[in-house]
Every structure is written in C-alpha cells, then in structure tokens.
C-alpha cells in the first residue's frame, strides 16, 4: 500500500480499521496530530464514539485511564508515539500490552519517533502492521522500529488481519 505521507496513512489507518471492524468506539488522546483528530471527528459524524484521553502535566497518558476507557465495542486505540511539540515519548509497550489483552488494534503515528534519541525507540516490535514511509510504504508481518522514516504503525489482533487487495 503506497501513500503520499503520514496524513494519508493515518487517515487510512484510523478510518479504515473502524469501518472494517464495525465497532463503534475508539480511543485516542487530546494531543494527537491534527490528521488523526480530524479522522476521529469524521468518524463521530458517522455515529462512532471517540474517547479523547487527557495527558498529564508531563505530556504522558495515564495507562490506567486508557484501561478504564476500553469498552466491549472498542475497535481501535490510537496514540501518537512521540509528541512533535514537546518530544514526550508515550509508554508504547504498556499501551500495546493493554491492546493485546483486550484484542484491540493499536495505531500509532510514529512520524516524529525517528527524530528522538534512537536508543529510546529501538526494540519496539509490532506484528501484522501497516507501515507508511514517506518514500515507500510497506505492509509487513514484523517491523522492528529503527531509524527509517516511519509514519504510521498499526498493530492488528493476531486473528483479525485483513487481506489488502493489490
């Protein structure tokens, strides 16, 4: 799947997953990138519910609030990996564990992650992902986060990976 960049990739990920799984609720943060927030507002106009998690004074989400926001009809969690304005790195592993526990697809806008301290990002592993690169997006079975120009990463539940037509 090829996209023109992060905005298009985020739009496809957020809207596409919610419409594919036909669940009516998603969780994101109040500090997401504008393109993700715009996608959430679009989904709300179509009848979806969106929970906007606040961030603490340090810019991080409270993972306990994330866990409490999960509902039986939650179809996606979208949390930006690195805030492009203050540089805070969200607790991606903990967020991923919660998503895995509840079998919820996990999307992150990781466009800013490559500009952070490399040692803080190396080792993030995502399975069954949709990855958008500025130069060449790929759909991969496993992607280890590195210094590539990654725009968007989508972790899908193991048993529910859609087949994307060419």
Give yes or no for residue 157 having a pLDDT over 60: no
Q: What is the pLDDT of residue 146?
A: 39
Residue 1 within a domain: no
Residue 95 within a domain: yes
Please tell me which residue, 98 or 126, carries the higher pLDDT value: 98
Residue 166 within a domain: no
What CATH number is associated with residue 32?
3.40.640.10
Summarised one tens digit per residue, pLDDT across range 35-48 is: 999 999 999 999 99
Through-space distance between the first and last CA atoms of the chain, rounded to whole angstroms? 8
Task: Domain of residue 100: give its range.
Answer: 6-159
Q: What is the pLDDT of residue 107?
A: 87
Residue 82 within a domain: yes
Please enumerate in sequence order all residues whose Cβ is within 8 A of that of 56, keeping only pairs 6 or more positions apart, or say none. 62
Residue 73 within a domain: yes
Global pTM value: 0.75
Summarised one tens digit per residue, pLDDT across range 50-62 is: 999 999 999 999 9
Q: Tell me if 23 sits within 8 A of 74, measured CB to CB.
A: yes
Residue 58 within a domain: yes
Report how many domains make up the chain. Answer: 1
Residue 123 within a domain: yes
Residue 41 within a domain: yes
């Amino acid at each position: 799947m090829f996209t023109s960049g992060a905005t298009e990739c985020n739009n496809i990920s957020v809207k596409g997953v919610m419409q594919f799984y036909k669940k009516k609720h998603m969780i994101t943060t109040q500090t997401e990138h504008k393109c993700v927030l715009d996608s959430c507002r679009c989904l709300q106009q179509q009848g979806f519910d969106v929970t906007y998690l606040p961030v603490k004074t340090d810019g991080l989400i409270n993972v306990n609030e994330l866990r409490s926001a999960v509902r039986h009809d939650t179809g996606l969690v979208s949390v930006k990996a690195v805030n492009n304005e203050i540089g805070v790195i969200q607790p991606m592993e903990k967020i991923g564990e919660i998503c895995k526990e509840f079998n919820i697809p996990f999307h992150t806008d990781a466009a800013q992650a490559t500009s952070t301290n490399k040692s803080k990002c190396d080792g993030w592993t995502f399975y069954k992902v949709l990855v958008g690169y500025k130069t060449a997006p790929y759909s991969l079975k496993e992607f280890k986060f590195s210094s590539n120009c990654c725009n968007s990463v989508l972790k899908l539940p193991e048993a529910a990976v859609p087949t994307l037509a060419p």
